[in-house]
């Protein structure tokens, strides 16, 4: 029979930060199904279910072969009865009836559609659904709904943003960002992070960390970058968030979606021969550009390694790094610092390797963090 981990006598860890997960996923038929279940659980605010399916998905992504039968799952962590039942369904019928049911659910379809708009979260989507709306046309026709700046951009560039970017386009964008940043601070450090640093071929945005060799000189950099991008005529949308960095409050003791660094969420015009523009669309007929999402974050150099580790992802890898630190090492990790609760000290680090070493973890390279 097929064995999933033929040459690995070691038991797979329950923590994603102790597994090596490349972009090659041999179990997509299962993980695609679980992504639907995860999203459905998220919409219903069922955190427990959500977490269980996320962990199971992550374990399956780390396997070196496809699961062919339930026996293959023997000894694997994070796979409970619920997840096994779904997988059994898929192994027997090629699909899961539970997933099919959700996919054809009216509420799921509406929330999925609405949250696909940049700036529209679960709460807003739910509000629109409760008003009886199922399509964008219905939402946009209601004059009592006032869209914020982000949502307006989200609707305006919907098709472009939904398309995301490939690696070649991300590279073109990297050059634009680097050039722009270096006209302001010549020795600034521009580092590609997020999914593209993990080696993904496709992304919904491009993420960069900007910092300067001189501590503190990154302050005000993002404002200048935004001005330069505007001057170049490629700035379509920006949400600039000032730093709320307070050293005394480090580390922030809970899971936080946001960190305290100065950052900006952008929509930029990407002009290039490489860029595919969908010319079938009326509004695209005359343009030679596509709207793309870009995130910039500007930590001080002293915290660069923590910011880089935090922004490289994947989200599940980050979640498990923090959980591992807390439960296995009595340490607190976030995008700013690593705190040892036993010694009552913050452990500094200049590189990601040092952070892994502080945690007593084998180093996992960025392209192995696609958990
Ligand atoms: P994709 O290719 O779809 O963009 P991604 O892994 O790059 O995938 P992002 O949403 O761009 O996903 O996030 C990249 C990383 O940055 C994640 O690990 C996430 O934890 C972190 N991140 C994203 N937004 C924020 C934020 N506002 N504050 C702090 N960290 C964030
Ligand atoms: Mn990204
Ligand atoms: Mn991002």
> Using one digit for the tens of pLDDT, what is the confidence trace for 330-367?
999 999 999 999 999 999 999 999 999 999 999 999 99
Catalogue the active-site residues: 205, 207, 295
- Give the ligand whose atoms come closest to the C-alpha of residue 296: 3
Closest-CA residue, ligand 1 atom 25, reads 258
Q: Phi and psi at residue 217, in whole multiples of 5°?
A: -75, -10
> Using one digit for the tens of pLDDT, what is the confidence trace for 167-195?
999 999 999 999 999 999 999 999 999 99
Identify which of 316, 361, 319 has the alpha carbon closest to the alpha carbon of residue 60: 316
State the Cα–Cα distance between residues 122 and 326, nearest whole angstrom. Answer: 29
Q: Can you spell out the DSSP letters for 264-325?
A: EEEEEEEE-TT----TTSGGGTT-SEEEEEEEEEE--GGGHHHHHHHHH--HHHHHHHHHHH
- Cβ neighbors of 125 (< 8 A, separation 6 or more) are 110, 111, 114, 115
- Asked whether 203 lines ligand 1 (CB < 6 A), one says yes
Give the chain's domains with CATH numbers. Answer: 16-101 (1.10.150.110), 107-156 (1.10.150.20), 164-302 (3.30.460.10), 308-368 (3.30.210.10)
Task: Say what the pLDDT of residue 286 is.
Answer: 74
> Is pLDDT at 245 greater than 90 in this prediction?
no
Number of C-beta neighbours around residue 164 at 10 A: 16
Task: Say what the pLDDT of residue 287 is.
Answer: 85
348 secondary structure, DSSP code? P
State the Cα–Cα distance between residues 10 and 30, nearest whole angstrom. Answer: 23
- Cβ neighbors of 115 (< 8 A, separation 6 or more) are 121, 122, 125
- Asked whether 162 lines ligand 1 (CB < 6 A), one says no
Indicate whether this complex's ipTM tops 0.85. yes
How far, in Å, is the centroid of ligand 2 from the Cα of 300? 21
Look up residue 208 and give its two tokens.
Answer: 């960069």
- Asked whether 204 lines ligand 1 (CB < 6 A), one says yes
> Using one digit for the tens of pLDDT, what is the confidence trace for 187-226?
999 999 999 999 999 999 999 999 999 999 999 999 999 9
Ligand 1: nearest atom to the Cα of 202: 2
3-class DSSP state of 95: coil
């Amino acid at each position: 029979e097929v064995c999933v981990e033929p040459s690995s006598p070691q038991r797979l860890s329950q923590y994603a930060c102790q597994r090596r997960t490349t972009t090659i996923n041999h179990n997509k038929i299962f993980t695609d199904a679980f992504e639907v279940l995860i999203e459905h659980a998220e919409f219903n605010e069922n955190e427990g279910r959500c977490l269980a399916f996320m962990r199971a998905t992550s374990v399956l992504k780390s396997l070196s072969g496809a699961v062919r039968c339930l026996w293959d799952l023997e000894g694997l962590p994070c796979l409970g009865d619920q997840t096994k039942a779904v997988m059994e369904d898929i192994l027997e019928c090629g699909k899961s009836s539970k997933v099919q049911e959700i996919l054809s659910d009216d509420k799921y379809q509406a929330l999925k559609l609405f949250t696909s708009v940049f700036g529209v979260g679960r709460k807003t989507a739910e509000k629109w659904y409760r008003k009886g709306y199922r399509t964008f046309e219905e939402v946009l026709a209601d004059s009592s709904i006032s869209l914020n700046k982000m949502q307006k951009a989200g609707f305006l560039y919907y098709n472009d943003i939904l398309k995301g970017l490939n690696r070649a386009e991300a590279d073109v964008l990297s050059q634009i960002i680097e050039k722009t940043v270096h006209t302001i601070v010549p020795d600034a450090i521009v580092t590609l992070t997020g999914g593209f640093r993990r080696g993904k071929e496709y992304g919904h945005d491009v993420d960069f960390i900007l910092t300067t060799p001189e501590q503190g000189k990154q302050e005000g950099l993002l404002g200048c970058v935004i001005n330069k991008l505007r001057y170049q005529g490629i700035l379509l949308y920006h949400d600039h968030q000032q730093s709320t960095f307070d050293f005394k409050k480090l580390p922030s003791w809970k899971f936080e979606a946001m960190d305290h660094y100065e950052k900006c969420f952008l929509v930029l015009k990407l002009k290039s021969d490489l860029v595919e523009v969908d010319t079938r669309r009326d509004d695209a007929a005359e343009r030679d550009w596509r709207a793309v999402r870009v995130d910039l974050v500007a930590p001080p150099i002293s915290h660069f390694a923590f910011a880089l580790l935090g922004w490289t992802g994947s989200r599940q890898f980050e979640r498990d790094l923090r959980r591992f630190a807390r439960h296995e090492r009595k340490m607190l990790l976030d995008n700013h610092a690593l705190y040892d609760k036993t010694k009552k000290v913050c452990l500094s680090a200049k590189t990601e390797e040092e952070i892994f070493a502080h945690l007593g973890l084998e180093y996992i390279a960025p392209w192995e963090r696609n958990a």
